[in-house]
């Protein structure tokens, strides 16, 4: 598993999780793919994984684990200690990333001396691909899945140039990169035929030319923006309001948290990307547009612990107005990391099956699922279950055909 933004909270927690489960110091609670439904798929076991990735900061896995322990009071010392050797070994696979078109809030985080700020887009893609090939060859890997867990970039508007590979390819040599860093990483991965997952709201592979590239190289991809907390609750509760024929008049969500992600999202440009993916869920489920407000505030003392307060004002029988409120308090990295592992396992499985293009059945993992307009968590989960059943049926047929 190649993590872009490897040593952030999510990347490090996913890495620690793989090590901890492999070593038997943690169970698989909260890993969706550990549910019995997925057992017949024979997904890759946590112990099968080797981890590497790109970073723009000097931090390593062990440092981030220590920071999360100290500041957010997560990870039992015995668990973290048991995994030090794996973390140290995998840290040696971290390579300098690209900062092209990341925006100032992310650029301010960068402190590695070996970054190459003056690359063209094409040079950046080539360097990323060199790193990916070296990782695969050095560790003799059968497959490599690339997962984007970098900081959220500001929104990037795509235009005519981005509509086809024929137009976009020559623009990679321009002085100004025609794509943000998240899309350069996506290009590098898809061009090598590797599965690519975008766990962030950044642009990534959501560009027609990149979807064309994926088809050309027979690669799979999925995204965007992991659905882990408040938005997960919205996608569970909104269907209830819809099915009881209650009319939602307004839905207000106020989020406060204090990790590095929160610090980057404190920049209004970067925040705009996140608000866009969080704010579309309710109206798309209920089919009309209640008044909505989503706010995200950086409160440093909270570190990795996020509080989301939601106020839902709705109309019931005989025009009576009522209110539902909930408070979600969760640890951001702990919520996100198991999903990264799930997505990696499922994307690798899809690649082995010879699938191509967007992985629509992964919609339940994302706030803004690519390729499907479905936001209802139950409908999304049903899509995943159907996919598993269909995969098993094809496998059984293939075995039968092989025998005859």
Could you list the beta-strand ranges (E) of 214-268.
220-223, 247-257
Residues 64-123 touching ligand NAI, rule: CB under 6 A, are 97-99, 102, 106, 109
What contacts 24+ positions apart, CB below 8 Å, involve 78-82?
78/25, 79/16, 79/20, 79/25, 79/26, 80/16, 82/19, 82/20, 82/23, 82/25
Q: Count the neighbouring beta carbons within 10 Å of the beta carbon of residue 291.
A: 10
Residue nearest ligand NAI (C-beta atom): 8
Nearest to 288 by CA among 254, 317, 246: 246
Choose the binding region for ligand NAI from 50-58, 66-74, 81-89, 168-176 (rule: CB under 6 A): 50-58
Nearest to 151 by CA among 274, 302, 16: 274
Among 16, 51, 57, 103, binds ligand NAI (CB under 6 A): 57
Residues 6-35 touching ligand NAI, rule: CB under 6 A, are 7-11
Residue 336 binding ligand NAI, by CB under 6 A: yes
Among 31, 43, 54, 87, binds ligand NAI (CB under 6 A): 54
Count of all residues that appear for the chain in the document: 404
| 221 versus 314: smaller Cβ distance to ligand NAI | 221
| 45 versus 111: smaller Cβ distance to ligand NAI | 111
Among 26, 33, 200, 368, binds ligand NAI (CB under 6 A): 200
**Bridge-based pairing state of the strands 2-4 and 52-55:** parallel
Residues 126-185 touching ligand NAI, rule: CB under 6 A, are 149-152, 181
Residue 124 binding ligand NAI, by CB under 6 A: no
CB of 160 to ligand NAI, least distance (A): 26
The sign of the dihedral angle between the CA atoms of 372, 12, 103, 176 is negative
| Helix 61-72 / helix 84-91 crossing angle, nearest 10 deg | 130
Residue 225 binding ligand NAI, by CB under 6 A: yes
| 26 versus 101: smaller Cβ distance to ligand NAI | 101
Secondary structure letter of residue 120 according to DSSP: -
The sign of the dihedral angle between the CA atoms of 188, 191, 196, 201 is positive
| 248 versus 340: smaller Cβ distance to ligand NAI | 340
In contact, 231 and 372? CB cutoff 8 Å: no
CB of 187 to ligand NAI, least distance (A): 13
Among 125, 219, 286, 335, binds ligand NAI (CB under 6 A): 335
By rule CB under 6 A, what count of residues binds ligand NAI? 34
**Token representation of residue 316:** 């019931």
Residue 56 binding ligand NAI, by CB under 6 A: yes
- The b/e string for 230-241 (b: 16+ C-beta within 10 A; e otherwise) is bbbbbbebbbeb
Residue 222 binding ligand NAI, by CB under 6 A: no
Cα–Cα distance for residue pair 119/131, rounded to 1 Å = 15
Choose the binding region for ligand NAI from 85-93, 157-165, 224-232, 394-402 (rule: CB under 6 A): 224-232
CB of 197 to ligand NAI, least distance (A): 11
Choose the binding region for ligand NAI from 126-134, 284-292, 333-341, 378-386 (rule: CB under 6 A): 333-341
The sign of the dihedral angle between the CA atoms of 115, 125, 48, 350 is positive
Cα–Cα distance for residue pair 6/2, rounded to 1 Å = 8
Nearest to 17 by CA among 258, 339, 365, 303: 339
Among 60, 195, 226, 338, binds ligand NAI (CB under 6 A): 226
Cα–Cα distance for residue pair 340/226, rounded to 1 Å = 8
Among 44, 55, 86, 119, binds ligand NAI (CB under 6 A): 55
Q: Binding string, 255-294, against ligand NAI, x = CB under 6 A?
A: ----xxx---------------------------------
- The b/e string for 351-375 (b: 16+ C-beta within 10 A; e otherwise) is beeebebbbbbbbbbbbbbbbeebb
CB of 61 to ligand NAI, least distance (A): 11
Residues 344-403 touching ligand NAI, rule: CB under 6 A, are none
Judged by the rule CB under 6 A, the positions of this chain that interact with ligand NAI are 4-5, 7-11, 54-57, 97-99, 102, 106, 109, 149-152, 181, 199-200, 225-226, 228, 259-261, 332-333, 335-336
């Amino acid at each position: 598993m190649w993590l872009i933004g490897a040593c952030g909270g999510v990347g490090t927690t996913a890495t620690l999780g793989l090590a901890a489960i492999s070593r038997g110091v943690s169970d698989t609670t909260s890993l969706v793919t550990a549910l019995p439904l997925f057992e017949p798929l024979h997904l890759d076991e946590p112990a099968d994984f080797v981890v590497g990735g790109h970073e723009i900061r000097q931090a390593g896995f062990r440092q981030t684990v220590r920071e999360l322990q100290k500041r957010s009071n997560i990870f039992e010392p015995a668990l973290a200690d048991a995994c030090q050797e794996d973390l140290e070994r995998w840290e040696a696979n971290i390579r300098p990333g690209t900062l092209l078109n990341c925006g100032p809030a992310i650029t301010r985080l960068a402190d590695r001396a070996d970054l190459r700020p003056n690359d063209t887009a094409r040079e950046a893609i080539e360097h990323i691909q060199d790193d990916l090939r070296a990782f695969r060859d050095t560790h003799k890997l059968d497959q490599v899945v690339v997962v984007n867990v970098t900081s959220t970039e500001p929104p990037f508007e795509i235009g005519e140039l981005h509509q086809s590979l024929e137009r976009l390819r020559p623009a990679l040599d321009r002085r100004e990169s025609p794509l943000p860093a998240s899309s350069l990483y996506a290009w590098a991965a898809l061009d090598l035929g590797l599965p690519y997952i975008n766990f962030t709201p950044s642009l990534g592979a959501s560009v027609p030319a990149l979807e064309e590239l994926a088809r050309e190289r027979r690669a799979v991809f999925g995204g965007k923006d992991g659905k882990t907390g408040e938005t997960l609750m919205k996608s569970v509760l909104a269907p209830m309001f819809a099915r009881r024929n209650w009319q939602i008049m307004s839905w207000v969500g106020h989020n406060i948290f204090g990790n590095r992600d929160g610090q980057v999202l404190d920049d209004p440009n970067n925040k705009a990307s996140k608000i866009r993916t969080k704010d579309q869920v309710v109206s798309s489920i209920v089919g009309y547009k209640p008044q909505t407000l989503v706010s995200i505030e950086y409160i440093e003392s909270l570190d990795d612990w996020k509080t989301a307060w939601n106020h839902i004002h709705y109309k019931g029988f005989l025009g009576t107005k009522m209110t539902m409120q909930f408070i979600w308090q969760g640890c951001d990295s702990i919520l996100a990391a198991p999903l990264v592992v799930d997505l990696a396992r499922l994307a690798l499985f899809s690649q082995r099956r010879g699938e191509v293009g967007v992985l629509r059945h992964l919609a339940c993992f994302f706030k803004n699922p690519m390729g499907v307009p479905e936001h209802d968590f139950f409908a999304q989960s049903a899509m995943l279950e159907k996919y598993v059943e269909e995969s098993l049926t094809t496998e059984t047929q293939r075995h039968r055909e092989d025998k005859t």
